[in-house]
Every structure is written in C-alpha cells, then in structure tokens.
C-alpha cells in the first residue's frame, strides 16, 4: 500500500481527498502546512507527496524546492486549472506532475500510480553512452564513475530516450511513455523534465551532448 | 489646378513677401520717378536758359527785316542743331524740320514766349526749344520780329541716367527680398510652432497616449486653445482611468468569485466519488438525491472552470503555447478520448501540420462537436482542409440548423438558442470560449446554415505542411 503525504491547508478539501484516496487503496497522511510537511518527510518519508501550491507560511513552490534539495521523493502538485504561472512554477521547482483543482480522485490516483511505476523499468543490464553509464537493473546512473541522483520521472525519461539512441521521440510519445498521459497531456512536463535531466547529466546543459533538441519535433538521445 | 499653396507656412511666407515687395517696389518706383523728373526738369531749364540767352545776345545785331544771307549768318552763329526760320525765306541751319511739331511752331510763331517740348524720334528722346526773336524798339518796347529760332537737343544721356536710377531702385527692392523671406520664415515659425505642437499632442491623444499635453506659450488665442485641449485631455483621461478601474474591479471580482468557489468544489469533487460508489446500496430517494448532487456538482465545476477561462480572456492573461500540431491527429484524438469516434465522420488529408496551441485547439473542436451532437442531428462531420495561409476545420451537423434570429448571437455569453433547457444543456459559455480561443490564434469562428444543417467553421491563419 503506497503511502502518500497530502499537504493541503483547506480542512474540508484535505478530509475529502483523504477519504477518496483511501478508498483507492492509498495510505494517506495529511498535514496542514509546508513546515509540518517537511518535518513529516524528515521523520517518516512517504512514497510520494501531493502538494497544494497555495499554503500559509512557505508556499508549495518553496516546499517542493526544499524536498528536491534533499531527496528524489516524487512530488505531484495541485494547481489552479490552466494558470500557466502555477504550472510552470511548479514544474520548475521540480514537481514530477501536476493535477488541476478541483482534482478528481480517480485522476489523482492514476497520476500517483504512474509516477510510482516510473522507478520500475525493464531489466536488461548496463548500457554505456560516452561518459554516462545506465544500469537498467539496479536503476542507477553514473557519470564518469560518480553516481547521479535522479527522480523516478527523470530516470524513466533517461531510460526511454537512451533505449534508442539517435531516434527522435516527439513530446507526445514521451508524454505517453514516461508520464502515461493521453493526448491532453502538457508538453511542458516533457520540456521541464528534459531541462532537469540535462542539469544533472550534461557538462554544459546549454549545449547538450546526450539529450538533444530536434526543433519542431521533440528530443533525441545522442548519438554519442 | 491649385495655385495657392496648402501649407500655412508657405501661405504666410508668400503673403509676407508679397506685402514687403509691394512696399519696397512702390518706394523705389516713386523715388526713381521723382529723381528722374528732377533731372529732366533741370536739364530742360538749363538748355532753355542757354538758348534764350544766346538768342537775346544776338537779337540786337540782327537787321530787320532779314534777308536770306542774314538768316544764314544767324544760323551759323547759333551753331549746329539750330534752325532759323523767317516766313518768306528758306529756313537756315540743321536739317531737322520733321522733328519740329506743328504745335511748337504755332506756339513759337504767335507767342512771345519760349516753348520747350520733349519728343521721342528714331527711338531717342529729344528736347525741342522754340525761341521767337524779339525786336526791341528804341523806346524799349519789344515785339516779335517774325524770326523763329529752334534748337534740338539729344536727351539720350539724361535718359541713360534715368535708366540707371531705375535699375538701382529695382536692385534695392530685390535686395529687400532676401531679408523679407528670412523675416517671414521667422514670423511663420513663431506662429506655427504652437500650432504644430498642438497637432502633435492631438495626434498622440488620438493614438491613445492620454498623457500627452502641450505647453501653452504666451497669452494669445493659441495659448488659450492649448489650454482647452489640455483640459479636454485631462477629463478624457480621468474618465478612462475611472472606467478601466471599474472594469478591472469587475473582472477581478469574477475571477475572485470563481477562485473562491474552487475550494468548496474541490471538496465536493473529492467526496462525490465516494458517494457514487455508495449510491447503489442507498434507498431509492437517497440514491436519486445523491445522483442529482453528483450531476450538479459536475455542472458547477464546469461552469466555474469556464468562468475562470472567460475571466482570463477578459483580463488578457490568456496566452498561446504554440506547437507544430498535426491537426488531423489532434481532431481524431479529441473525438477518441471523448468516445465520439463512431458518431462523427472525419474528412481530412493524411496529415496536416499547423502551428497552434494543442490544448486550445482541442477545446475548440470538442466544443463545436459537443454543440453539434447536442443541438443538431447525426450524422456529424468534421472536415479539415488548408489553402494558402489558412487552415479550416468545419463541423457540420444534419439538424434543422440554427434558428434565424439566433445566428448573430450564438457566440454571445450565456446565450442559449433553445430556451427549454435539456438536461444535457451546456453552460452557455462554450461557444464564447471557442470564439476567444480562435481569436487568440488570430483566426475566426463562423456559423452558417447549409442545406444539411448548421455548420461551424474554424479558420486558423498560418502556413502548414500537408503530408
């Protein structure tokens, strides 16, 4: 049973989501503020955090940044629908996915399961691309021998891209393969994911060697 | 043909120069004229006096009545250019009879006075002087002797002097032209600068820059006009500010209301699922109540979402996120995820890539198709086509079409053509949002009734590639 930490300040929303997610089989821990959430993560790390952006005290963006500074714990943001600033800000802060409010529990459950599935990839051994080594069994990535810490989403993105070096994958394909979103998924998820992945594996993220942009189409891994 | 220049500056300069030149010309002409007159008069007087003095000096020595030899002697004494006549004798002296007019002869022959006349002959000016020779009796009385002395003088030299005077007068007047033009330009600038400033200010105001003002100079009519324009601009600005503040407040209120509604709706949405799962085990009344609550919650969620979308359009915070989109795949996907792929026929090329915002495009197509399924009759068809600079997505149903009076209003907010609200009725905002989305793309959304039924056409500008 996956353990989910819900950080939400509105008490009725908090209770409603807790009720609904529990029915989907999640063990839901709830807290009211970002500060409490961070303490909870320290003491008993959950499998995943569902984070409201509008919080008293430190807001959702800051909570997400602090979580990212310390761990690769998956984070799903609850944002206002279509408010681009919220979505972009949330993704830039390191969120793996977002769900717009009012969130349907069934959708939120699907996203939680998709994010958690990302750490389980097919097992076929160690692949080497230039200075980068990807162990698809142990699910570890090393750059010139040094371990690189990736979130499940970043790891899944790297695995998907590096499975076929030199082939162009559209944002749409990546959305479906990595985020398990249908057509209506947001291609900013892809762009932000690529940006964060580059920040961790590229020597110069401005002139990427591994994950390259193909203008108007999508992304391509190498060839290195 | 227009001879009078249109610009104020050229008109002012022309008028100023014309007045100055007229004045200078008149002054030059009158001074040249009076100088010429004085010159002629003094020349005439001098020549006349010398002729009279000569005749008077000779008169006492003349024999009366003279014979031909005496007459010839007299003519020789008087010198060239002189003619001496006596009634019965042949005239003696210069060969100039043609120039001496009858008027002068008559006057000289009958009078006791000296006569002078100016004539032009052979293109040259001449002075003719007629002097009667008087006989002085021993008692001192005088009477005309009948001898007439005429002398002829060429006035070309004098005329040349007069011409010189006229030329210098014209030259002086012409010299005035340069400072006159400069002065006129200066004066025109002084008058025109405030006019030009006012024009610029008015132009900026017309372009929407309500901060534009002119600085009034002096206390003349133009300064007064400038003040009036400034006052006008101020009052326009004040009302604009007040209006836009009211508008902003109204929009913010709509956005705030929608935002505030979202928190309770989040709770409702979360628990409706629990309620849905539990509904089958409830008794009939409770089950129906739960189902009503669930349906209305969904309706409310959509209404609030659409209101927020509208308020984003109104506040100008709706933005496009353009990508290369395959319009055909986008339309098919839009139908598929909503389960419409069997109800709606698609007529389209294989692929058609176009620059568009995929989410907004999906919203437009979904809305048009939902509208056709709800208000029209099947079959519903979506056709996708492109021509130079434009892609077209047309949604056609086979229903009765949009009622005539409703054609102009279907894109109005909260407008519902069929007043009897069916359970499936939309919020009344869908088509307005579709229209705003089309406009955001720089495109259009149009509706017309065809022979089949209602047809909504989305036009997107741009250049695509068909594959």
- By DSSP bridging, strand A3-7 and strand A48-52 are parallel
- CB-nearest to A84 from B268, B319, B330 is B319
pLDDT at A58 over 80: yes
- CB-nearest to A10 from B259, B263, B334 is B263
The mean pLDDT value for B186-204 works out to 85
What is the helix (H) or strand (E) element at residue A148, kind and residue range? strand A146-148
pLDDT at B90 over 80: no
Chain A interface, mutation test: which of B256, B257, B258, B269, most A Cβ atoms within 10 Å? Answer: B269
Give the number of beta-carbon pairs within 8 Å between A and B: 76
The CA distances from residue B428 to B174, B252, B309, B315, B331, in Å, are 82, 21, 13, 20, 23
Give the highest mean pLDDT range of A178-192, B213-227, B333-347: B333-347
What is the helix (H) or strand (E) element at residue A179, kind and residue range? none
| Interchain CB distance below 8 Å, A106 and B273 | yes
Task: Give first-to-last CA distance, chain B, whole Å.
Answer: 61
pLDDT at A83 over 70: no
Residue of chain B nearest A15, judged by CA positions: B267
pLDDT at B336 over 60: yes
pLDDT (0 to 100) of residue A15? 94
When pLDDT is cut at 50, 70 and 90, the band that residue A82 belongs to is low
Chain B residues near residue A182 by CB distance under 8 angstroms: 333, 337
The mean pLDDT value for B263-276 works out to 89
Nearest to A221 by CA among A150, A134, A129, A126: A129
Residue of chain B nearest A188, judged by CA positions: B321
Cα-to-chain-centroid distance, residue B316: 35
CA distance to partner chain A, nearest, from residue B332 (Å): 10
CA distance to partner chain B, nearest, from residue A13 (Å): 4
What confidence tens digit (pLDDT) does each residue in B271-328 have?
998 888 888 888 999 999 999 999 999 888 888 888 888 888 887 878 888 888 888 9
Which one is predicted more confidently, B147 or A194? Answer: A194
CA distance to partner chain B, nearest, from residue A81 (Å): 8
Residue of chain B nearest A172, judged by CA positions: B325
Chain A residues near residue B267 by CB distance under 8 angstroms: 10, 12-13, 15-16
* Lowest pLDDT segment from A91-100, B76-85, B417-426: B417-426
Q: What is the mean pLDDT of chain B?
A: 83
pTM: 0.59
- By DSSP bridging, strand B142-154 and strand B82-85 are antiparallel
Cα–Cα distance for residue pair B16/B192, rounded to 1 Å: 14
* Lowest pLDDT segment from A55-64, B127-136, B330-339, B390-399: B127-136
Question: Do the beta carbons of residue B83 and residue B75 sit within 8 Å?
Answer: yes
Chain B interface, mutation test: which of A16, A84, A105, most B Cβ atoms within 10 Å? Answer: A16
pLDDT at A201 over 50: yes
Chain B residues near residue A171 by CB distance under 8 angstroms: 323
Chain B residues near residue A186 by CB distance under 8 angstroms: 359
* Torsion over CA: A135, A140, A146, A150 (sign): positive
- CB-nearest to A13 from B259, B263, B305 is B263
pLDDT (0 to 100) of residue B423? 47
Q: What is this model's ipTM?
A: 0.75
pLDDT (0 to 100) of residue B77? 81
My answer on whether omega of the bond before A223 falls inside 30° of 0, hence cis, is yes
Joined together, the tokens standing for residue A121 give 């990839």
**Chain B interface residues (partner A, CB cutoff 8 A):** 259, 262-271, 273-274, 277, 301, 305, 308-309, 312, 319, 321, 323-324, 330, 333-334, 337, 358-359, 362
What confidence tens digit (pLDDT) does each residue in B151-190 have?
888 888 888 888 888 888 888 888 888 888 888 888 888 7
| Interchain CB distance below 8 Å, B269 and A102 | yes
Q: What is the 3-state secondary structure (H, E, C) of chain B?
A: CCCCCCCHHHHHHHHHHHHHHHHHHHHHHHHHHHHHHHHHHHHHHHHHHHHHHHHHHHHHHCCCCCCHHHHHHHHHHHCCCEEEECCCCCCEECCCHHHCCHHHHHHHHHCCCCEEEEEEECCEEEEEEEEEEEEECCCCCEEEEEEEEEEEEECHHHHHHHHHHHHHHHHHHHHHHHHHHHHHHHHHHHHHHHHHHHHHHHHHHHCCCCCCCCCCCCCCHHHHHHHHHHHHHHHHHHHHHHHHHHHHHHHHHHHHHHHHHHHHHHHHHHHHHHHHHHHHHCCHHHHHHHHHHHHHHHHHHHHHHHHHHHHHHHCCCCCCCCEEEEHHHHHHHHHHHCCCCCCEEEECCCCEEEEECHHHHHHHHHHHHHHHHHHCCCCEEEEEEEECCEEEEEEECCCCCCCHHHCCCCCCCCCCCCCCCCCCCCCCCHHHHHHHHHHHCCCEEEEEECCCCEEEEEEEECCCEEC
Cα–Cα distance for residue pair A196/A206, rounded to 1 Å: 12
The mean pLDDT value for A136-149 works out to 86
Chain B residues near residue A26 by CB distance under 8 angstroms: none
The mean pLDDT value for B224-228 works out to 87
| Interchain CB distance below 8 Å, A101 and B273 | no
| Coil/strand/helix, residue A8 | coil
pLDDT at B200 over 50: yes
When pLDDT is cut at 50, 70 and 90, the band that residue A46 belongs to is very high
| Interchain CB distance below 8 Å, B358 and A105 | no
When pLDDT is cut at 50, 70 and 90, the band that residue B456 belongs to is very high
pLDDT (0 to 100) of residue B437? 93
Chain A interface, mutation test: which of B257, B273, B309, B337, most A Cβ atoms within 10 Å? Answer: B273
pLDDT (0 to 100) of residue B3? 64
pLDDT at A124 over 70: no
CA distance to partner chain B, nearest, from residue A122 (Å): 28
What confidence tens digit (pLDDT) does each residue in B111-158 have?
667 778 888 877 788 888 888 887 777 787 777 777 888 888 888 888
pLDDT at B393 over 90: yes
The mean pLDDT value for B428-435 works out to 90
pLDDT (0 to 100) of residue A119? 63
Cα–Cα distance for residue pair B350/B298, rounded to 1 Å: 37
CA distance to partner chain A, nearest, from residue B429 (Å): 17
When pLDDT is cut at 50, 70 and 90, the band that residue A159 belongs to is confident
Helices (H) and strands (E) in chain A, counts: 8, 12
Chain B residues near residue A103 by CB distance under 8 angstroms: 266, 269-270
**Chain A interface residues (partner B, CB cutoff 8 A):** 10, 12-13, 15-17, 19-20, 23, 80-82, 84, 101-106, 171, 182-184, 186-188, 216-217
Cα–Cα distance for residue pair B105/B132, rounded to 1 Å: 10
| Interchain CB distance below 8 Å, A80 and B264 | no
| Coil/strand/helix, residue A75 | strand
What confidence tens digit (pLDDT) does each residue in B8-50 have?
788 888 888 888 888 888 888 888 888 888 888 888 888 888 8
| Interchain CB distance below 8 Å, A101 and B262 | yes
Chain A residues near residue B262 by CB distance under 8 angstroms: 80, 101-102
When pLDDT is cut at 50, 70 and 90, the band that residue B467 belongs to is low
Nearest to A84 by CA among B230, B85, B359, B463: B359
The mean pLDDT value for A36-60 works out to 91
Chain B residues near residue A17 by CB distance under 8 angstroms: 266, 270
Q: Specify burial of residue A49 (Cβ count, 10 A radius: 0-12, 13-18, 19+).
A: buried
The mean pLDDT value for B68-96 works out to 77
Chain A interface, mutation test: which of B268, B270, B329, most A Cβ atoms within 10 Å? Answer: B270
Nearest to B20 by CA among B191, B189, B175, B188: B175
What confidence tens digit (pLDDT) does each residue in A22-32 have?
999 999 999 99
| Interchain CB distance below 8 Å, A104 and B273 | yes
């Amino acid at each position: 049973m996956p353990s989910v930490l819900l950080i939400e300040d509105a008490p009725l929303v908090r209770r409603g989501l807790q009720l609904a997610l529990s029915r989907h089989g999640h063990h839901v821990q709830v807290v009211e503020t970002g500060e409490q959430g961070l303490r909870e993560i320290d003491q008993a790390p959950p499998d995943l955090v569902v984070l409201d952006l509008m919080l008293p005290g430190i807001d959702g963006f800051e909570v997400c940044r602090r979580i990212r500074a310390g761990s690769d714990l998956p984070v799903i943001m609850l944002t206002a629908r279509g408010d681009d600033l919220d979505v972009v800000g949330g993704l830039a802060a390191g969120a793996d996915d977002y769900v717009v409010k009012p969130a349907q529990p069934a959708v939120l459950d699907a996203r939680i399961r998709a994010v958690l599935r990302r750490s389980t990839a097919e097992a076929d051994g160690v692949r080497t691309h230039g200075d980068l080594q990807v162990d698809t069994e142990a699910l570890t990535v090393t750059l010139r021998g040094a371990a690189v810490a990736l979130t499940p989403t970043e790891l899944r993105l790297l695995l998907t891209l590096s499975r076929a070096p030199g082939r162009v994958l559209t944002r749409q394909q990546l959305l479906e393969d990595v985020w398990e979103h249908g057509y209506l998924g947001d291609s900013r998820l892809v762009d932000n994911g690529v940006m964060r992945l580059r920040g961790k594996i590229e020597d110069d993220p401005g002139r990427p060697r591994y994950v390259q942009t193909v203008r108007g189409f999508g992304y391509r891994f190498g060839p290195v | 043909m227009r001879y009078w220049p249109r610009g104020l500056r050229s008109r002012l300069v022309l008028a100023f120069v014309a007045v100055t030149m007229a004045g200078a010309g008149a002054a030059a002409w009158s001074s040249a004229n009076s100088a010429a007159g004085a010159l002629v008069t003094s020349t005439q007087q001098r020549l006349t006096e010398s002729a009279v003095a000569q005749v008077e000096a000779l008169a006492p020595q003349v024999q009366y009545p003279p014979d031909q030899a005496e007459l010839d002697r007299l003519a020789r004494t008087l010198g060239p250019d002189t003619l001496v006549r006596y009634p019965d004798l042949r005239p003696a002296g210069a060969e100039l009879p043609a120039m001496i007019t009858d008027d002068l002869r008559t006057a000289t022959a009958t009078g006791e006075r000296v006569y002078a006349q100016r004539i032009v002959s052979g293109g040259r000016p001449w002075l003719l002087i007629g002097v009667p020779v008087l006989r002085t009796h021993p008692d001192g009385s005088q009477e005309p002797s009948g001898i007439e002395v005429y002398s002829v003088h060429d006035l070309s030299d004098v005329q040349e002097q007069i011409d010189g005077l006229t030329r210098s007068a014209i030259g002086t007047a012409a010299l005035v032209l340069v400072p006159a033009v400069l002065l006129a330009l200066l004066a025109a600038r002084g008058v025109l600068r405030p006019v030009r400033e006012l024009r610029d200010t008015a132009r900026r105001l017309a372009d929407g820059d309500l901060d534009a003002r002119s600085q009034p100079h002096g206390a003349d009519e133009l300064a007064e006009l400038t003040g009036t324009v400034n006052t006008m601009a101020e009052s326009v600005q004040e009302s604009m500010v007040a209006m836009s503040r009211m508008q902003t407040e109204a929009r913010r209120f709509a956005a705030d209301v929608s935002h505030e509604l979202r928190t309770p709706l989040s709770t409702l949405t979360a628990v409706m699922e629990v309620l849905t799962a539990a509904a089958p085990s409830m008794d009939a009344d409770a089950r129906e109540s739960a189902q009503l609550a669930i349906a209305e919650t969904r309706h409310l969620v959509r209404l609030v979402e659409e209101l927020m979308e509208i308020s984003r359009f109104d506040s100008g915070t709706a933005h496009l996120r353009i990508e290369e989109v395959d319009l055909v795949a986008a339309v098919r996907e839009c139908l598929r995820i909503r389960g419409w792929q069997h109800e709606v026929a698609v007529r389209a090329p294989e692929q058609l890539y176009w620059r568009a915002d995929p989410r907004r495009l999906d919203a437009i197509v979904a809305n048009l198709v939902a509208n056709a399924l709800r208000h029209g009759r099947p079959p519903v068809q979506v056709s996708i086509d492109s021509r130079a600079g434009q892609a077209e997505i047309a949604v056609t149903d086979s229903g009765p079409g949009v009622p005539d009076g409703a054609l102009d209003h279907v894109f109005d907010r909260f407008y519902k053509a069929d007043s009897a609200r069916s359970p499936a009725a939309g919020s009344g905002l869908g088509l307005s949002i579709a229209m705003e989305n089309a406009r955001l793309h720089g495109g259009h959304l149009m509706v017309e009734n065809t022979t089949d039924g209602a047809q909504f056409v989305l036009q997107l500008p741009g250049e695509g590639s068909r594959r």
